[in-house]
Structures are given as structure tokens and as C-alpha cells.
Structure 1
Amino acid sequence: MLRIAMVAILFAVGSSVSVAKPPADTNYDETKVPSYELPNALIDNAGQSVGRDEWVAHRRGEVLRMFEDSVYGKTPSRKLAVKYEVVETDSNALDGRATRKQIAAFFGDDPYRLDILMYIPNQATGPVAGFVGLNFNGNHTIHADSEIIQRGTAKARGSSASRWQLEKIIDHGYALVTVHRDQVDPDNYRNDFTDGIHPLFYDEGQTKPEPTEWGSIGAWAWSLSRVLDYLETDGQVDASRIAVIGHSRLGKAALWAGAQDTRFAMVISNDSGCGGAALYRRCYGERIHHMIKPVGYWFCTNHQQYQHREHALPVDQHMLMALVAPRPLYVASATNDGWADPKGEYLAAKHAGPVYELFDKPALSQSQPPVPDQPIHTTIGYHLRTGDHGITAYDWEQYLKFADPYLSKP
């Protein structure tokens, strides 16, 4: 029983570690995908068809509330006092190619600290566009740069550098901004919501979120918006041209951040799977009941009621992507990542199309995913990369190419 549980945990977190097998009831057979009918994003809760005006006026808000109530939980609206302190800067980082900034953001009366790491290309002649994303293992792991402050993790310096492709991003003219996920809300499989940012929002006597209040994905998404708040104060960055990006569970957070915060100019999901880009109703690869025991804290408690009942969800992930419209959206998958259901990720992006079309934005038209390594770039981008669960140089090449028409100066 212990071995089965550990296998479930490893698959649930999108581990690249080789394991003997997924949970026994995992479906990787397309012929066993149940028939399903997706909720119509353009039929409101009163049963009425909506056009562009109705989508903007009320339907978008309905969809957002359904995701809050049944999937991610509601993010607190309370504003915390915040103070920013630039603790380190170097205008000659990366052999002169970039300016490195390290900012401590202090939230609340008993200050809670988040460390923001920024790299800004020195070739820029004015405020630059950029990418914002959370990292898994500490700011110091995104590059071997010895001056990056290391806090709260013993992971090796530069150990995640391949996932960030910092020089490639800088040379392309974009800034990169990141925060360590565990500084926001620890992802430790025993999360009791006492050692992250949740307690800053508790009412008197409260010790955990209510059933419809945010879990860890909501907290991570909240932090991405707080980074954007800071960027609005930094004259070297154009905060109106920022893409939010995430891989795996942090891809789920990036999608939820982009859905809630329309200030993000672009949203990118890399291998985010169940609870991220993949359609729940396909019941392929990872499913809700696989996640609830080891990582149920990612979601609101209400999400538990949909175990083995995906068809009862009032939403599906095409509607999450529709909340990004009309802004550009990119979804990426990997051929060896069946756990994340690449076909389900593509279909969710495709079925977001009708909302994009309300805004006269081209969407995905072909009924099936493209062949591997043949990206599609419309307002909704998609590629299926050959290889394993991960974010690679190839993925970043597509994101940079896709971003140029949207994030470049008008």
C-alpha cells in the first residue's frame, strides 16, 4: 500500500523520476475515454446565449465564480500593506548582458517576505517586456550566478537553469522575473495552511481556508499578481507587456493568475495537465481523485466532491482558457507526458476558441493536435514537443517567437 501511495504522489506532482507504474485505475487508452459534453462557455447560467457584450458584462464573471466555487477557491480581496526594498543590484550581470535586481517585498503588519529576482536586458533603450513565473526550488537554482540570494532551500545553485534559459530570454530582449513557490505557500504534501501567506488573510479564530476559499494554486496565482504590482513601480519594465508563465503545477497557477488578473498581457501553460490545461471530462491520465489525497491542498476543499464525478463539474478547462480572451494564450504539451493528457490540453485550448472569436481573434481550427514539433501560432498557440515532462530550450524558443508580435512595442 505504501508503494502504491508513493507512486501516486510522484505522478501527481509531474515528477520526471521513473516509477514502476501509475495508479492502477489510470487510463491511457483513447478508446476508454468516456463520451462527454463540455459546458458551453457562451450559454449563461440563465440558459441564454451570450455575445461579446454579454460575455464582458456578466458571463465572464459567472465563469470566474464557478471556478472559484468548484476548483481553485476564492482569492481574498483584502489588500495587504506592502513595502519593497531593493536589496541588491548589479548592472553588469551575465557578463554585462543584463542588470540583476533582487527585491524583498514585505506584506502585512507582521511582515511576510517574498524575494523577487529580476534580470533586465542591458541592450534595451526603454522599458522592456518580460516573463513572470514561479520557480520550484529557489531563486538561486534558476542560474549559476553566484550573487543570487539563497534562502530557505539547499538545492544546488543553477540546478534548474535548463528550465529557465536565462541568456536566451535576455538576448531576445525580454526581462525575466521569478519568485520561489515555497516562499509563497510550501508544497510539502502536509500543507495545513499555517506556514505560507494564508494566515495573513484569516479572520479572527480562523485556522484554515473555508471550503470555497483558495488553496495553494490560488496562493501561487496571488503572488504572481503581486509581482506584477511591483513591476508597475519599476521604470525599467513595461508592466503592460508581461507574460505569466508556469510549468506543471505552476502552469496551473499561471493559468489561474492570468484568468483572474487581466493585466497580464499573455498567459503560458507548459505541461500543466489535470487542474491546468487538460479537460477534466476526458478522464485520461491524472484525475481529481489521484490528486486529492497527496495534493488536495492545491485546490479548494469543494473540489473534492468531484472525485470520479468530473461530469458534474459546472466548468471545464476550456472555460478557464476562455477567461484569458482576447489576450494571447499558449499551451504546450510533451509526447511522453501522458499523465498530463496532451490531447486533452490541446482540445481545451481549441474549445476556448468560440470566446476568442467573439473578439475577432483567430483560434485553433484543426480537430486534432498537431504532429510533434510542429507548433501552431494563432492568438492561441500550441505545440506538442517530443520528449518528457519538462520545460526545455525548445519550449522557450516557441514562447519567445510567439510573444514577439504581442509584447513588442506598438
Structure 2
Amino acid sequence: MKTDCLKIRIFVILLLVAFSFSGCKKNAKSQFPDFPPANVTSLMDRDQMLAQLGITLPQLPPKLQDPNAPKNTFPTNPQNPEGNWTDSLRNPDAPISRSVFGLWNNYSDRSNGLYPGPDSARVGNYTPIDLLRMKNGKLITTPEEWWEKRRPEIVRDIEDQMYGRIPPKEILPAVTWSVTTSTGGSGNSAYVQKEITGTIDISRYPQVRNRPEIKATLRTPAKATEPVPVIIFFGGFGNVNDMYFERSGPEGWGTCTFDPNTLQPDNGAGLTSYLIGLVNQGNWRKPTDWGSLVAWSWGISRLIDYLETDKDVNAKILGLSGVSRYGKATIVAMAYEPRIAIGFPGDAGSLGTKMNRRHWGQDLENSCDANEYHWMAGNFFKWAGELIPGQYLPRKIEKCPVDAHSLLALCAPRPVFMNGGSTSSWADPFGVFLTAVNASPVYRILGEKGFITPDRIPVIDKAYIDGTIGYRVHKGGHTDAPNWPAFHEFAARHFDITTLVSSVSSLTLPAKEGSSASFTIKSNRKWEVINTADWLKINSRSSGGSDTITVTAAANTQGTGRSAVVTIKTKGREQTVTVNQASSRAGLGIKSDKFTGARTKELRIGGVENSQASFDIISTTAWNIRVTYPPAESMDRRFMMGSGNWITLSDESGVNDKTIMLTAAANPGVQTRSATVNVQAAGLPPVSIIVTQEKGAPTLDIMADTLFFTAKGGNASPMFVRTNTTWTLKSSDAWISATPSSGGNFSQIAVIAAENTGPSERKGSITVSVEGLQPKVIVVRQEAPEMK
């Protein structure tokens, strides 16, 4: 009996010991469920990846006590020392924050940099990565060695250490396409628009929480007579299709906007759903799995599959462009997809076009929080933190085998244009310049010029476009807009893109003999002029480049107006100018059974896309129509709402009686908007119509789903809100504060958490509301204080 009892006691002791040791060996991953829950957050997903990698975030001191805080800097808000800091310049485009690994942002440069400063040691000294030297030390000297030996090494490191691998083809989903075609614009600005939807097969994992989809909008010139090159644009806010086409259409390009968020959303919570979750069958990512940037590039590749089948598209000349995070996506997609012929990654910053092994402005470590890590493969976390424990610099990025110039080198020998802004300090415009310089040896070994610059430091507003790598730093902030003329010129040096632009679509002449008018043609080709009307004479039948055409009319003795069409043609392009001549007996009026208003004629039109209304012109002469819009309230509002030219006329000019159809773009705002349509004829008073469009539907997009705070509290990364109306904000708990509490359009919200003095982690929320939509809730989590 005693023996049995002793055996039992020994057994119990062994169990306790075993339990104790199993607790000591507990894998960090065991705190996470084996399979991601439906309510997974970005923070949970980020921390699960860190646990897979065996990485623990360091315990950082309060910022005021941090010996690594940059000299001559201080909290932006003295009452909130854990928030962002600043310096004496107080540049809002140069926030000074501290990464979760303890690295502070720096804005002081070496004396030979674009922005000299006294604190040059913080830029960091790192061993250069020689793109032409293999890992075994062998220097490559021929194009064949680049393609067969060195480039594959860089590809593997880019995939495995930074951005992730595209899964094998056998587990990637098939895509089927549907296209809805419409027309828009008028005169020589008319276009064919195609709404493209790629339906993704989910048979590999039908339970996927959110079905991914490819959405794009293609516009090509209606008067193109052969396929046109197309620039694909990542994202964009508001009615960007008008803005892009107005900008690049006259330069010979079609445009195509791509919405990456329907394929893979811009947050970490979606990594176990949408495309990545579909391929992984809902599981957590592994450290080498693709992040959002590469998933978006896969979507671009599939979109190119479609564009190669479209008869209106010259798929041999496809460009790609995006700004900021979409600039990062642009350079990544171009490195992964060889069919992209030219790229414009705009102001893309770290993990994009600036050198990461240089601590100036945005840093790789800034993307290790829960709001940006999802862009990358999990392995990129390995390059954050101190290389030597207890020593601030250098950082682990010293051991990373690739940098931004490696990414750019994978685009070679294709042309790439990059930009920065003189006040866009966060994106480090000089770091982008260095990327261009450092990638050039690869271009040169492939027989291209690479980056050509006589300047050691870039000159603001100077376009460096003589080589295969282009660059321009404009005077101003975080945008690509001022650099598009330079890009178009850069592209024209590398591709034979036909341009043909008339300064007008129509002209109106008086009835008398010898009435004349002139217009200009701009082209990079020889062109001919065709006129079949015997009453109209032209001064030139052919020309080339830019020239002026003058038309002269005989007297119109008829009692009605008359028209002729002058056609300007070159290979692949056509422009027309309608010449309307007034009659000797002029009359003008308008009518519609839809008109309202006593003194002024008013017409209502729907708020949805392609809403229409019409009126009749009653006339015996030549007339023209002009639409005027109220001035935009601000450039920001124009950016959100598009160009403002939201009415398309079936005819902008003509003669005699005509029914005029008005077609409206969707109203992107939640207020009605108005425009004035003026019908004019020479010698007669104009008649006007006030056109009022119904309200549009409200929108709300928040670029965050979870905010995380340490126990000390302070500021989170800024939270961005996009809407077409006004929003209000409410915090669930007193320890969470956010400013401003209301706003509209595109806003940045600063969220602050008080110090957590309780015994455990706490959780709250911020609710953002707009009228007419379900409120959006952002989870706020704060860790427990460290046990003493």
C-alpha cells in the first residue's frame, strides 16, 4: 500500500515537473489561435507574425527620458510628450516619431546632402550593396551574367526578405472578365470608357470571409484610329478618371484606374481574407508570404492579361503610376511584372524609392506598427532594431541584402521616372536621388544610360530626363502633380507615342463674305487636313509638328445656318473641327417640358452616374453652348471631387434646330450642385439654363481598424479619414481622446491614450459617423503596465 502511495506521489510530482517545464517551453505562438478568428485585427495579425519570427518588441523608456532622442527636438504638444515631436522649424511634413523598435526619425543630413544639418551621424553609415557583385564576391561584367546570375540572387532576396513570394500558379485563382462600355466627353475630348470587373474563382476556399475582386476603369480617346498606350493608375480619391484623362490624354495616352482595395484591403486585418486569405485558405501568413504590395502587383498583372486582349489598347506600351503608398506599389509591381514598359512611382518614400539604409525622414522601422506592416512579407521585421544590443546605431538594416536601388535595378532596362517634393521631408527626396544614382550601374551594363546628372545635389524644379532613370524634385509637398509634364516628355523620349491635338473642336463664323478664324494643331507627326465643303477654304492641306490653320468662308445668303467638318489626320489619330456659319436671318430659342423657374429656366438631373436630361434649341442660325461651373472651394476639394466638369453635352455647337442631351457624372458630394448652360448666337442675347444635380451618396473610408498603445500612452500613428461629407467622432472611454472631433473631406486625426495605471490591458474604441451610413468603429488597445 505504501509502495502504491509512493508511486502515486512520484507520478504526481513528475506530472507537476512536466507541466512546469512545458510552461517554460511554451511557444510564443500559442497565445494566438491556430486558425485566425473572424474578428481578427491588424494588431493581432502583426503580433502573431512577430511571434512566428521569435521577435519581441523592446521595452522603451518614456520619450523625455530616452537618451536617443534627437538633439534640439521636443514634443509638439508639451502636454503630450509621448506624441510626435518636432524641432525649431515645426515642419508638419517632417514629423519626428519613434518606432516600436526605438528608432527616432531624423531630418539632419551630411554637409553634402540636399538638406545639410549638424547631426549627420544620425543618417547612418552602412556598407554599400554592390549590385554588380555576387554573394560569392565575383564581379559581373556582362549582361548575360546579370540576367543569369546576379539578378536571380536579388529577386530571391527581394521576395524572401522584404516583399514576399507570389504563390505557385497551381494554387492561384483564375479570373474571368466582364466589361461594361459607355462613352463620354465631347468633341476632341470624347472617350470610350470601359468598366472592367475581374471575378476571382474562390473554389480553392469557398469559406473566404471576403471575396476578392479586380476593379478598373479604362478610358481611351474616341477618335483614336489605332490602339493607344495606357497608363494604369493605382487608386486615387474622388473623380480621378477625369483628372487623369484630361492630363495624359492630350499626350497620346489612354488611362486606366485600378482599385487595389477590392482585391486586398490596405490593412492587416484582411491578410487572412480577400486574395491572400483565399490562397492561404484562411490561415495565418508565413514569413515569406506575400504582403499587400505584391498582392496588388498580382492584380496589376491580371489586369494586363485583360488589356492585352482589348483592341483599343497598345499593350506593348503600358505605364504604371501611383503616389505615396501607391508609389511603393508601383515600383514593386514593376519589379515583379516585366510587361510594364514604364513607371512613375511618385514620392514613394521608404520601402519604395528612397534608400532604406539611410536614416532620414521615413524609415523602414516606421512601417513596423500595426498600420503599415501588411504591405510587406513578415520577414521584413528582421531588419528592424539595434544591430548590436544596447547600441543605437547601426540598425539591423545593415545585414539586409537588398535596398531601394535593388528594387529599381529589377526594373532595368525599362525607363523609370521618380520624384520628390522640397518640403516632402518624410519621403526623403535626396534619398530617392541616391537610389537613381546607385541603380545606374545595372542600367549601364545592360546598354542603357541610367541616371544622368551633372549635379551632386538635385536642383529644385529641374527635370533630369536625359537617361533611362528620370527624376525631379519640385518646390512643394507630398504629391506627383507638378512633375507630370516632365514625365510625359521623359516617356516621349523612350516610346514613339503619336500626339495630335487641336486647340478647338468647333468654330463659329459670321454670315458675311471672307469671314475667317484660326486654330492650332500640335503634333509630333506629319498630318493632313481634309475639307469637303466648297464654301469653306483652308490655308494648308498638310503640315507637321505644330502649325496654325486658317479657315475662310464664303457669304451665307441662306436663311439657315450651315456647317462643315475639317478633319486633321495622322497615323493612328484624328481630330475634327466643326465650322458653323451663321445665317443672314438669325433666330434663337430653347424649350423643354422639364423646365422649371419663372425668370430663369431650370433643369434637374439625377445624382447617379450617366443621369440625363435634355432640351431643344429652336434656331435658324449657328450657335454654341458653354457650361460654366462655380469656382472650386479649394484645391483639396477639387482633388476629392474631380475636375468639376461634370456635364457632357451631346453637341457643343451646331446650326438650326437641335435636341441637346446632357449627361452627368455621378455627384460625389452629398449636396446638390449646379452649373449654368449658356446657348449663344452671334448678334443675339444668350439664353441660359440652370442645371441642378441631385445629391450623391455619402462615403466614408478610414485607413485604420486598430490602434495600439503602450502602457505609457501618448499618440498613435495619425488616423486618416476620407469622406465626401462631414463626420463626427466619439470615444468610448475617457482615457481615449481624439482631435479634431469633427471634420470633412480628407482629414488627419490625432488619437491620444492616457497612461494605463491599471493591472491589465484595456480596450476601447473610436466611432466615426456620417449621416446616412453605418458608423465605423476603430478598436483601441493599450497594453498593461510592466510588472514591478
State the TM-score, normalizing by the size of structure 1: 0.86
Task: State the SS of the aligned residue for 2:381.
Answer: helix
Structure 1 pair 94–61 and aligned structure 2 pair: CA distance change class (3 A):
farther
Structure 1 pair 5–98 and aligned structure 2 pair: CA distance change class (3 A):
farther
5 Å-filtered alignment, 1:203-214, equals 203=281, 206-214=282-290
Aligned to 1:396: 484
Aligned to 2:317: 241
Task: State the SS of the aligned residue for 2:333.
Answer: helix
1:108 aligns with 2:201: yes
Aligned to 2:409: 322
Counterparts of 2:226 and 2:202, CA distance in 1? 35
5 Å-filtered alignment, 1:164-175, equals 164=244, 166-175=245-254
Aligned to 1:301: 378
1:405 aligns with 2:493: yes
Aligned to 1:70: 161
Structure 1 position 376, deviation (Å)? 0.5
Amino acid at match of 1:132: I
Aligned to 2:398: 311
Amino acid at match of 1:23: S
Structure 1 position 4, deviation (Å)? 7.8
Structure 1 pair 77–363 and aligned structure 2 pair: CA distance change class (3 A):
same
Q: Judge conservation of contact 2:331–2:345 (CA < 8 Å) in 1.
A: yes
Task: State the SS of the aligned residue for 1:302.
Answer: helix
Post-superposition CA distance 1:286-330 (Å, at most 9, x none): 112211113111111110011132211111111111111111111
Higher helix content, 1 or 2: 1
- Structure 2 unaligned spans of 5+: 1-61, 63-78, 86-90, 99-103, 110-119, 204-210, 386-395, 499-788
Structure 1 position 274, deviation (Å)? 0.2
Structure 1 position 3, deviation (Å)? 7.0
Aligned to 2:147: 56
Higher strand content, 1 or 2: 2
Aligned to 2:450: 363
Aligned counterpart in structure 2 of residue 257 of structure 1, from 327, 333, 351: 333
Task: State the SS of the aligned residue for 2:179.
Answer: strand
5 Å-filtered alignment, 1:154-169, equals 161=243, 164=244, 166-169=245-248
Task: State the SS of the aligned residue for 2:272.
Answer: coil
1:275 aligns with 2:351: yes
Q: Judge conservation of contact 1:121–1:171 (CA < 8 Å) in 2.
A: no
Aligned counterpart in structure 1 of residue 474 of structure 2, from 385, 394, 397: 385
Q: Judge conservation of contact 2:422–2:429 (CA < 8 Å) in 1.
A: yes
Counterparts of 2:343 and 2:264, CA distance in 1? 21
1:373 aligns with 2:449: no
Q: Judge conservation of contact 1:123–1:173 (CA < 8 Å) in 2.
A: no
Task: State the SS of the aligned residue for 2:156.
Answer: helix
1:141 aligns with 2:220: no
Which moved further from structure 2: 90-99 or 271-280?
90-99
Q: Judge conservation of contact 1:362–1:379 (CA < 8 Å) in 2.
A: yes
Amino acid at match of 1:116: A
Which 4+ stretches in 1 moved above 4 angstroms?
1-8, 17-20
Q: Judge conservation of contact 1:7–1:19 (CA < 8 Å) in 2.
A: no
Aligned to 1:130: 230
Counterparts of 1:62 and 1:192, CA distance in 2? 31
Q: Judge conservation of contact 1:85–1:105 (CA < 8 Å) in 2.
A: yes
Aligned to 1:181: 260
Aligned counterpart in structure 2 of residue 120 of structure 1, from 191, 195, 220: 220
Structure 1 position 18, deviation (Å)? 4.8
Post-superposition CA distance 1:170-218 (Å, at most 9, x none): 1222011111121122124x43413431122115xx5122101111111
Structure 1 position 141, deviation (Å)? 3.1
Aligned to 1:11: none
Structure 1 position 94, deviation (Å)? 5.8
Post-superposition CA distance 1:232-276 (Å, at most 9, x none): 110110111001112111111111111111111112211001000
Aligned to 2:97: 23
- Structure 1 unaligned spans of 5+: 9-16, 145-160
Q: Judge conservation of contact 1:134–1:224 (CA < 8 Å) in 2.
A: no
Q: Judge conservation of contact 1:83–1:105 (CA < 8 Å) in 2.
A: yes
Aligned to 1:334: 421
Counterparts of 1:248 and 1:277, CA distance in 2? 10
Q: Judge conservation of contact 1:115–1:180 (CA < 8 Å) in 2.
A: yes
Equivalent residues, number: 376
Amino acid at match of 1:167: E
Q: Judge conservation of contact 1:108–1:200 (CA < 8 Å) in 2.
A: no
Amino acid at match of 2:182: D
Aligned to 2:517: none
1:223 aligns with 2:310: no
Counterparts of 2:168 and 2:342, CA distance in 1? 23
Aligned counterpart in structure 2 of residue 80 of structure 1, from 139, 160, 173: 173
Q: Judge conservation of contact 2:297–2:337 (CA < 8 Å) in 1.
A: no
Q: Judge conservation of contact 2:94–2:361 (CA < 8 Å) in 1.
A: no
Give RMSD over aligned pairs: 2.4
Structure 1 position 52, deviation (Å)? 1.0
Counterparts of 1:212 and 1:42, CA distance in 2? 25
Structure 1 pair 307–126 and aligned structure 2 pair: CA distance change class (3 A):
same
Q: Judge conservation of contact 2:418–2:471 (CA < 8 Å) in 1.
A: yes
Counterparts of 1:317 and 1:196, CA distance in 2? 28
